[in-house]
Amino acid sequence: MIVGLIIACEVAFWVLLAAGLATRYLLRMPRTGLALLLCEPLLEAVLFAVTAVDLKNGAEPDWRHGLAAVYIGFTVGFGRATITWADAWVAHRCAGGPPPVRPPKYGAARTRHEWKVAGRWILASGVAIALLQAAVWYVGDGGDTGSLRVWQTRMLWVIGINLVIAASYTLFPKKAPTRSG
């Protein structure tokens, strides 16, 4: 049931995003479009509540509950950036707005970009770790929480990998190609 709900939340995210942007730019109803976009966090609230109820009703914590926490964390870390990107893209394509800003390719600007991306991953992973820890405490000593702990370890790996990537751009910044001629 939890995996189906996660899939439904993902589909609903994109449907709400498309409906919000279509209402905003194609129907020229920016407030209604914004209201649809603001409904996005409700999806995560529903997923969180259903997962908590599932655990409360005695379900043994497993990978599905961990995946729900990771999905919520990912949405917290990347949801706004995804909506902002899609909004800029649709504004450009449908409303004559400027093209979306592309990430910088070189130098300090690229390094800052990589640290921002790492920050989003750290936020996403931190939220997931916190939700997983709350689930561990919620289940208590009577349940097997090993699968939730495995997800916490995976999220620590995600944080570590993203820190290494961002640090590599700090230590070895990508330089623009030199023109000879």
The total number of structural domains in the chain stands at 1
pLDDT attached to residue 181: 55
Residues 90 and 25 sit within 8 Å (Cβ to Cβ)? yes
Q: Which domain holds residue 116?
A: 47-171
Residues 25 and 94 sit within 8 Å (Cβ to Cβ)? yes
- The gap from C-alpha 15 to its chain's centroid, in whole angstroms, comes to 16
Give pLDDT tens digits for 102-153: 999 999 999 999 999 999 999 999 999 999 999 999 888 877 889 999 999 9
Q: Which residues contact residue 70 at a Cβ distance below 8 angstroms, ignoring those fewer than 6 apart?
A: 128, 151, 154, 155
Give the chain's mean pLDDT. Answer: 92
Longest dimension (CA), the chain: 72
pLDDT attached to residue 52: 87
Residue 8 inside a domain? The answer is: no
**CB neighbour class for 47 (10 Å; exposed up to 12, middle 13-18, buried from 19):** buried
Residues 109 and 169 sit within 8 Å (Cβ to Cβ)? no
Residue 10 inside a domain? The answer is: no
The predicted model gives 1-11 an average pLDDT of 89
CA-based torsion, 152, 145, 127, 81: positive or negative: positive
Number of neighbouring beta carbons within 10 Å of residue 144: 11
Residue 117 inside a domain? The answer is: yes
At residue 72's C-alpha, the angle toward residues 67 and 74, to 5°, is 90
pLDDT attached to residue 115: 98
Residue 62 inside a domain? The answer is: yes
Give pLDDT tens digits for 33-76: 999 988 989 999 999 999 988 888 888 888 999 999 999 999 99
Residue 80 inside a domain? The answer is: yes
Residue 21 inside a domain? The answer is: no
Residue 86 inside a domain? The answer is: yes
Residue 31 inside a domain? The answer is: no
